[in-house]
Amino acid sequence: MQELNLYSVGMAGPGNQAIVWDNSTNIGKGLSTKGLSIPAAGTMERHDRQSKKNITEEKLPRERRRVTPPPSTFQRFSVDTNESLRFDPYVSQSDEDESQLLSSYRGQMQYSDEVFEEEDEAEETPIRDKVYSTPESDRGEHKMDREERLSEDNETEPDVFCTDCKTPTWSSQNLYGPHKDHRVILIPRATEEIKEDLQKTMSKLKEQILLMENFASHLEEIFITVEDMGTSLQENFGRQEQNLEQHYNDVIQALSQKYEQGASRLADEKKLKLEALYGQLVDCGKTLDISKELIETAQEIYRKENKVTFLQGNRAYGLSFNRIEDFSKDEPDFRLLASMEFENNTVDFSDIKQMMDSINILPAPSAPVINPQIPNSATSTSVHVCWSLFSDDTVEFYELHYRPVLDDATPANLQAPEVSKMRVKETYLTVMDLLPNAQYEFWVTATNTTGVSPASEKAVYMTVPSPPVIKWRECMSCPNAALIRWESGNTNPVDSYTMELNEIGAESNDDSITESIVAIPTCECLTQLQPDRQYSVGVRAVNIGGPSDRSKPVIIQTTGTYFHLMEETAHPCLLISEDRFTMFYGDEDIPLSDMIFSDNTFARCVAVLGDLIPVRGRHYWEVSVGEGTEFRVGVAYEDTQRNSFLGGNSTSWCMRHVITPSRHKYEFLHNGWSPDIRITVPPKRIGVMLDYDSEKLSFFNADVDQHLYTFQCHFLHLVHPCFALDSPGTITIHSGIAAPKCTIFD
Amino acid sequence: MALTQVSSSKCCGGFQKVFEHDSTELKCRMKFAVYLPPKAESAKCPVLYWLSGLTCTEQNFITKAGSQQAAAEHGLIIVAPDTSPRGCNIEGEDESWDFGTGAGFYVNAMEEPWKTNYRMYSYITEELPRLINAHFPADPDKMSIFGHSMGGHGALICALKNPGKYKAGAVSAFAPICNPMQCAWGQKAFGGYLGSDKSTWEAYDATVLVGSYSGPQLDILIDQGRDDQFLSAGQLLPDNLIAACTEKKIPVVFRLQPGYDHSYFFVFSFISDHIKHHAKYLNA
């Protein structure tokens, strides 16, 4: 945090940050000031010293200042770690190094400085004065001597620099002597050139430092950008911010280290170079001294015009001559000892780059949370799976895995079902092509550039069942109720069924559900209805996934009572039509052995039961018979004896038509007894009215609305219509028709 | 047309009354019974005419048949006239029980001395309905007819001779004389009232009339006691009627009721079936 604070101070970060980090800001400030104070003090001290020394020229301080990075730069890197603390002292240290270096050579340097300057400046005295006033000059005397000599024999010093030979020489020698025709420049200019070279080196160094500064500020920019993002999305990207901080700090540390290393390396190199150059300068000075001395000697000798003396002193001078000769023979080495080039210090930023790249790397997402199935979101072949992620996760895509859940009935030795996998960017997916009424196990993983999350919990989704199939042949109704039967349409059991009733032609919307009956456990439902309406009835199978599509509807009319023949009760000789409304008794005799009887089939009477809705009240239906058809039509208990004739027992009531040689005979049979009733018009269409309420069973000639007969019967339980053919013929039932008025008063 | 109330008794929520009036058709003082159901106090009701059998007056039916309960339930006015003119002082009118007084046979007599007064057919089919419609809350469009024995014969011929007059053709009869031309009672009466020309008899013979019937669908209900002595005596001859109706496809339900005789006990036993049979049409 404190590191950040420092940055924020340095970069004058956003106000809120400043507030947040106010406390530490102060610390940072304190630290930075402390950090600053060291080099500042050093500088001041030196300045004092320098002013004491009265060095007017600011070259060195200026250079030093240029070398020294701006305080802000340091401030930025004055991070609060040990390393960075080391870094700060380093600045002063480098300064100190420099000052030490300088101070150790100060005498000479200043001296030489003056030497160079003396060339240009007319007043040498003040400089010399300054030099003399240097208290620390331990070689003062010696110098003084030399200075005296120098000052005295100014003109005799090498005044030019041969660029060809890289050696100081005299301008005279340019005209004659070894440096004839060589390019020569004045010594001061040569010195300047060398200095320029040095400066170039220094500026190169500075450029590199600048580069690093730029790089650092670029990093800062990145950081700020990220930080701003973090601010705006602080809540969501808390983790990311933290992550970035950590990464960034790593980068900063790495950079600091690099800077430190690079700077110290450069400083070391500079130190070495300077040392070498100074050494050369000193040598140069020494050579100059010797040259001067020799020149003086030579002049002395030369001045002695007395040849005797000259010759006398030949021995003494001989030495001098030899020296001069030797010296002149010596080729002073003026090659610069220090290379102008700094070592190629290309900093390897590849690791930093890598680190920077890695800043963008997000943590792998956490395991998504898969939602439980939403009701009514599934179809028979698809489910809509939803999940969610943790808010601060970044996810590139999800992978939804699923496999069917085997029910317990599946043999264990079967292979585990294959897992399917789908890739999706959204947090939901409608998975298609599934089996109806089946359970599927779903789990989801999230993936981003970093990696894959752990799998979510497994959630079981269920496709809704296939729509049931209404068995319209087994549906029945009456004016105030309907019994609907259906097949599940699914091999596996479903939870329940929902039956939906639509009143057709109702005042409201035609499509509106008039009534829904839910949670029907079995494949049939008896429901109350209003008379004389038309209903469209559909059924849905329901499991935990929701309801299936609606079955193909069946139209129920509550105009009359509607039923079909129960084929399973039919005598083997009877053929029941496809629509289960007509029964045939063929002419050809079927051998008894070919007849297949069951417990439920009529065995003697060629009869069949109708499937009447188990609702009390009034039921009316009609029966079409041929005039010559010998029939029995009536009602019977469902368990009426299968081996007796209808009407011949106490469990059935029927109207019987018998053709006698003389006439049509009609009987109204129950328990084997019939009243003696003559009917003048043989009915072709018989109306049957079953009235539980008044316990009556009435027969009508429906064609002429003629009441034929009424049984007063005490029904112990519910009855079914019954029909029989005593001779080959046909009976067709007409159900779902309104009872004619003639039946009302019966 | 003035009516004189002879009696009025509350019965089954309504009133059983007897009136007396001077009949223009019969030219004598006539009595008739009328049952007014409770419904008649507030609304017009259909009228069911009951024709009684030999020897009866208006009293037999109202006192023995027990029709009031069903009439009250179905809201029917039941009019029960006398069976012949009375007190006409015709010679021989009271000589026998099966001719003359109490045996009008619901014909318009053509022979002297009967033809002036014995116009029961016109009385039943015209004068009486006019009278009833004028004096009682009767629905003139809804009338029906039934009877017992000779009255059964009367009911059948009235219906068969007046297609559409009796609503929806609902007719019923208890042990009717179905084919009078073929039985002793009929031959005696028809010979007396109509003369010897049997072709005129045919106009009053139900079985014959069935053969020539053309009109709205009839619905005829006939109950017959199996132990009726007149059935076995060949006075009633229902089989002839049934055969004729079967031939002409006129719907008849003929119920041969075992054990019953010709009496009002028999009538009483099935009167509600018959009233219901009529009510079904009259109240439709």
**Contact A601/A569 with Cβ under 8 angstroms?**
yes
Range with lowest mean pLDDT among A178-187, A313-322, A553-562: A313-322
Chain B CB contacts of A676 below 8 Å: 226, 255-258
Per residue in A519-538, pLDDT (tens digit) is 888 888 888 888 888 888 88
pLDDT of residue B147 exceeding 50: yes
Task: Report yes or no: A712 at the B interface, CB cutoff 8 Å.
Answer: no
Q: Give pLDDT, residue A8.
A: 41
Shortest alpha-carbon distance between residue B186 and chain A (Å):
24
**Contact A527/A554 with Cβ under 8 angstroms?**
no
Residue range A304-313: mean pLDDT, rounded: 64
Element (H, E) at A352: helix A350-359
Residue range A109-123: mean pLDDT, rounded: 44
pLDDT of residue A332 exceeding 80: no
Among the partner-chain residues B220, B255, B284, the one whose CB lies closest to the CB of A677 is B255
Chosen for mutation from A667, A680, A711 (greatest number of chain B CBs closer than 10 Å) is A680
Task: Report yes or no: A659 at the B interface, CB cutoff 8 Å.
Answer: no
Residue range B254-263: mean pLDDT, rounded: 93
Q: Give pLDDT, residue A316.
A: 63
Chain A CB contacts of B257 below 8 Å: 675-676
Closest alpha carbon within chain B to A742: B280
Contact B284 A741 (CB under 8 A): yes
Contact A676 B250 (CB under 8 A): no
Closest alpha carbon within chain A to B73: A745
pLDDT, greater one: B197 or A67? B197
Q: Give pLDDT, residue B44.
A: 93
Contact B254 A677 (CB under 8 A): yes
Task: Report yes or no: B259 at the A interface, CB cutoff 8 Å.
Answer: no
Task: Report yes or no: A36 at the B interface, CB cutoff 8 Å.
Answer: no
Chain B CB contacts of A742 below 8 Å: 280, 284
pLDDT, greater one: A60 or A504? A504
Q: Give pLDDT, residue A349.
A: 73
Task: Report yes or no: A673 at the B interface, CB cutoff 8 Å.
Answer: no
pLDDT, greater one: A274 or A27? A274
> What percentage of chain A exceeds 70 in pLDDT?
66
Shortest alpha-carbon distance between residue B76 and chain A (Å):
13
Chain B CB contacts of A701 below 8 Å: 251
Measured in whole angstroms, how far is the alpha carbon of residue A78 from the centre of its chain?
Answer: 38
Chain B CB contacts of A704 below 8 Å: 217, 219, 251
Shortest alpha-carbon distance between residue A671 and chain B (Å):
17
Identify the top-confidence range among A140-154, A272-286, A352-366, A384-398.
A272-286
Chain A CB contacts of B71 below 8 Å: none
Tell how strand A631-637 and strand A719-725 pair up.
antiparallel
Q: Please give the Cα distance from A686 to A700 (Å, whole number).
A: 5
CB–CB contacts below 8 A, A to B: 68
Per residue in A678-720, pLDDT (tens digit) is 998 889 999 999 998 888 899 998 888 888 999 988 888 899 9
Residue range B25-48: mean pLDDT, rounded: 93
For residue B109, what pLDDT band results from cuts at 50, 70 and 90?
A: very high
Structure tokens at A379: 């179809």
pLDDT of residue A55 exceeding 80: no
**Contact B168/B221 with Cβ under 8 angstroms?**
no
Range with lowest mean pLDDT among A196-205, A234-243, A464-473: A234-243
**Contact A407/A493 with Cβ under 8 angstroms?**
no
Contact A706 B283 (CB under 8 A): no
Task: Report yes or no: B234 at the A interface, CB cutoff 8 Å.
Answer: no
Q: Give pLDDT, residue A81.
A: 43
Mean pLDDT of chain B: 91
Mean pLDDT of chain A: 73
pLDDT, greater one: A123 or B117? B117
Q: Give pLDDT, residue B62.
A: 93
Taking CB atoms within 8 Å and a gap of at least 24, the contacts of A28-37 are A28/A2, A28/A80, A31/A2, A31/A6, A31/A78, A31/A80, A32/A6, A32/A75, A32/A78, A35/A74, A35/A75, A35/A78, A35/A88, A36/A71, A36/A74, A36/A75
> What percentage of chain A exceeds 90 in pLDDT?
5
Shortest alpha-carbon distance between residue A675 and chain B (Å):
7
Closest alpha carbon within chain A to B219: A706
Biggest CA-to-CA distance, chain A: 203
> What percentage of chain B exceeds 90 in pLDDT?
76
Contact A678 B252 (CB under 8 A): yes
**Contact B86/B29 with Cβ under 8 angstroms?**
yes
Q: Give pLDDT, residue A289.
A: 86
pLDDT of residue A4 exceeding 60: no
Residue range A351-368: mean pLDDT, rounded: 72
Q: Give pLDDT, residue A174.
A: 65
As a 3-state breakdown, chain B gives helix, strand, coil percent values, each rounded to 5, of: 40, 25, 35
Shortest alpha-carbon distance between residue B241 and chain A (Å):
9
For residue A357, what pLDDT band results from cuts at 50, 70 and 90?
A: low
Contact A741 B280 (CB under 8 A): yes
Task: Report yes or no: B283 at the A interface, CB cutoff 8 Å.
Answer: yes
Q: Give pLDDT, residue B149.
A: 92
Q: Give pLDDT, residue B33.
A: 95
Residue range A192-205: mean pLDDT, rounded: 87
> What percentage of chain B exceeds 70 in pLDDT?
99
Closest alpha carbon within chain A to B280: A745
Residue window 200-229, chain B: list those with CB within 8 Å of chain A: 217, 219-221, 226
Shortest alpha-carbon distance between residue A650 and chain B (Å):
21
Closest alpha carbon within chain A to B225: A676
Residue range B246-253: mean pLDDT, rounded: 90
Contact B276 A706 (CB under 8 A): no
Residue range A208-218: mean pLDDT, rounded: 87
Shortest alpha-carbon distance between residue B171 and chain A (Å):
12
Q: Give pLDDT, residue A17.
A: 42
For residue A237, what pLDDT band results from cuts at 50, 70 and 90?
A: low
Range with lowest mean pLDDT among A395-409, A561-575, A685-699: A395-409
Task: Report yes or no: A676 at the B interface, CB cutoff 8 Å.
Answer: yes
Task: Report yes or no: A639 at the B interface, CB cutoff 8 Å.
Answer: no
Give me the residue label for tokens 């705006």.
A232
Contact A681 B283 (CB under 8 A): no
Q: Give pLDDT, residue B148.
A: 94
Give me the residue label for tokens 């939906």.
A500
**Contact A300/A324 with Cβ under 8 angstroms?**
no
Among the partner-chain residues A663, A679, A746, the one whose CB lies closest to the CB of B253 is A679
pLDDT of residue B255 exceeding 90: yes
Contact B74 A745 (CB under 8 A): yes
Shortest alpha-carbon distance between residue B274 and chain A (Å):
11
Secondary structure (3-state) at A698: strand
Task: Report yes or no: B251 at the A interface, CB cutoff 8 Å.
Answer: yes
Contact A745 B280 (CB under 8 A): yes
Contact B251 A704 (CB under 8 A): yes
Contact B249 A705 (CB under 8 A): no
| Cα–Cα distance list, A378 to A382, A441, A637, B70 (Å) | 6, 14, 46, 65
Residue range A355-364: mean pLDDT, rounded: 67
For residue B160, what pLDDT band results from cuts at 50, 70 and 90?
A: very high
pLDDT of residue A45 exceeding 70: no
Range with lowest mean pLDDT among A13-17, A695-699, B157-161: A13-17
Measured in whole angstroms, how far is the alpha carbon of residue B96 from the centre of its chain?
Answer: 21
Element (H, E) at A616: none
Shortest alpha-carbon distance between residue A742 and chain B (Å):
6
Q: Give pLDDT, residue A742.
A: 72
Contact A680 B249 (CB under 8 A): yes
Task: Report yes or no: A351 at the B interface, CB cutoff 8 Å.
Answer: no
Task: Report yes or no: B279 at the A interface, CB cutoff 8 Å.
Answer: yes
Chosen for mutation from A668, A674, A678 (greatest number of chain B CBs closer than 10 Å) is A678
Active site residues of B: 149, 228, 262
Query: DSSP states of A631-689 as a string?
Result: EEEEEEETT--TTS-TTSSTTEEEEEEEE-SSSEEEEEEETTB--EEEESS--SEEEEE
AA letter at A420? S
Residue A111: name the closest of A292, A275, A285 by CA. Answer: A285
Among the partner-chain residues B226, B250, B253, the one whose CB lies closest to the CB of A708 is B253
Q: Give pLDDT, residue A73.
A: 39
pLDDT of residue A57 exceeding 90: no
Chain A CB contacts of B276 below 8 Å: 745-746
Task: Report yes or no: A745 at the B interface, CB cutoff 8 Å.
Answer: yes
φ, ψ of residue A630 to 5 degrees: the values are -95, 115
pLDDT of residue A127 exceeding 70: no
Closest alpha carbon within chain B to A676: B256
pLDDT of residue B2 exceeding 50: yes
pLDDT of residue A341 exceeding 50: yes
